[in-house]
């Protein structure tokens, strides 16, 4: 596994932590302004996870000789 793959895995883990933190915080906190921040954190966590997964798949394709 090369450094780029390791970084993508770390990025996915970080994004999962973002989503988890936001979900927990939304359950515990009722402040509207905080709710917006938690929602943004969760949304971007999911976006980062999806982009990192696409990048991992792209790396796999390149290794297999695809583009």
Tokens of 21: 């933190």
- Mean pLDDT, rounded, for 42-65: 92
Q: What whole-number distance in Å separates Cα of residue 49 and Cα of residue 44?
A: 8
Q: Say whether pLDDT at 2 is over 80.
A: yes
- Structural domain including 51 reads 3-63
pTM, two decimals, is 0.82
Q: Are 22 and 42 in contact (CB under 8 A)?
A: yes
Q: Domain tally for the chain?
A: 1
- Mean pLDDT, rounded, for 13-30: 93
């Amino acid at each position: 596994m090369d450094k780029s793959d390791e970084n993508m895995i770390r990025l996915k883990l970080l994004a999962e932590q973002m989503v988890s933190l936001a979900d927990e915080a939304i359950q515990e906190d009722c402040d509207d302004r905080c709710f917006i921040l938690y929602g943004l954190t969760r949304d971007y966590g999911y976006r980062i996870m999806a982009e990192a997964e696409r990048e991992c798949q792209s790396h796999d394709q390149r290794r297999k000789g695809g583009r």
